[in-house]
Amino acid sequence: MKVLGIIGGGKLGRAIARAALTSGWTVLVHDLAPVPELFSLVDGNESAKLVDGPELAQHSDVILLAVPFEASAELDWSLFTDRIVLDAMNQWSTIGETEHAPAISTTTSVQARNPQMRLVKSLNHFSYHDYRDDKRALDVAAHRAMAVISDDIEAAAVVAGLVRDIGYAPVIAGMDCAHLLDPKGPVFGADVDEPGMRVLLGATRNH
Ligand SMILES: NC(=O)c1ccc[n+]([C@@H]2O[C@H](COP(=O)([O-])OP(=O)(O)OC[C@H]3O[C@@H](n4cnc5c(N)ncnc54)[C@H](OP(=O)(O)O)[C@@H]3O)[C@@H](O)[C@H]2O)c1
């Protein structure tokens, strides 16, 4: 059984937690000040637990970063060495007035916080509302595509499994595509199937 560790039990963290639990994942959540909605999510659920950061990092197959980008500076990044870290954060303050996504993603600055992380970018380009529907009830062929961005092929495959489990069709591409997922990038909010996503990413490799 796979374990998803979620740092940040806010709107996105709780939506992904519910989707993952429905798909058979065990979920660990770390939040500085859990709100009642988070307690009610874990209460009475044997597959969900509130934990501290070190316990989450030690026991999770995938560590989802679901805190505000600015707050992420306070995380203990040393916990993530050699771990699969799924960055779902968006840095809204850098959008400014620019029409297009900058050529360098904020994901680059996330990787710099611990170069030994096995970093994957995904889940950031849809709203938490999208994750609340049970996508698995839909026809697989109609699934929306989700970008899974990493230079670590094994880490990307593990995250692609999570993405598939919560009802999306994963499309894997290299880290040089990360900026395309940022707000104002072409992937952000795009409702496309797998071929459509490959076009948006210009993806040269798909596993
Ligand atoms: N909401 C969306 O639809 C959506 C979609 C895609 C991506 N995202 C991205 O996902 C991230 C979270 O968004 P959100 O809408 O879920 O925000 P949110 O509702 O404000 O939730 C963020 C949670 O993180 C907690 N937190 C802050 N610093 C923390 C720390 N150091 N350790 C542990 N927990 C901490 C916050 O606790 P406190 O409230 O106590 O500070 C809060 O519970 C953002 O980077 C956002 O850009 C959001």
pLDDT tens-digit readout, 123-179: 999 999 988 765 555 555 557 999 999 999 999 999 999 999 999 999 999 999 999
For atom 38 of ligand 1, which residue has the closest CA? 33
The confidence score (pLDDT) of residue 207 equals: 44
**Parent domain of 137:** 3-201
Q: Is the dihedral of CA 185, 188, 194, 195 positive or negative?
A: negative
pLDDT at 105: 79
Q: Does 13 map to a domain?
A: yes
Q: In what order do the strands lie in the sheet with 84-87?
A: 48-50, 26-30, 3-7, 62-65, 84-87, 118-121, 145-149, 169-173
Between CA 94 and CA 153 the distance in angstroms is 29
Is residue 41 in a domain?
yes
Measure the CA angle with vertex 127, ends 124 and 132; round to 5°. 115
Q: Which of 31, 35, 41, 93 to mutate to test the pocket of ligand 1 (most atoms within 8 A of CB)?
A: 31
Residue with tokens 């069709």: 169
Mean pLDDT of the chain: 90
Is 126 contained in some domain?
yes
Q: pTM, whole model, 2 decimals? A: 0.93
Of 2-6, 103-107, 161-165, give the lowest mean pLDDT range. Answer: 103-107
pLDDT the model gives residue 206: 45
Give the CATH number for residue 167.
3.40.50.720
| 10: pLDDT strictly greater than 90 | yes
Residue 152 located in a structural domain: yes
Greater confidence, 55 or 144?
Answer: 55
Residue 206 domain-assigned? no
Report CA dihedral (162, 166, 171, 173) to the nearest 10 degrees: -40
Specify if 95 maps to a domain. yes
Distance in angstroms (rounded) separating the CA atoms of residues 185 and 187: 6
Report if residue 207 sits inside a domain.
Answer: no
Number of domains within the chain: 1
- The confidence score (pLDDT) of residue 98 equals 57
Q: Residue 34 falls within a domain, yes or no?
A: yes
Amino acid letter for position 161: G
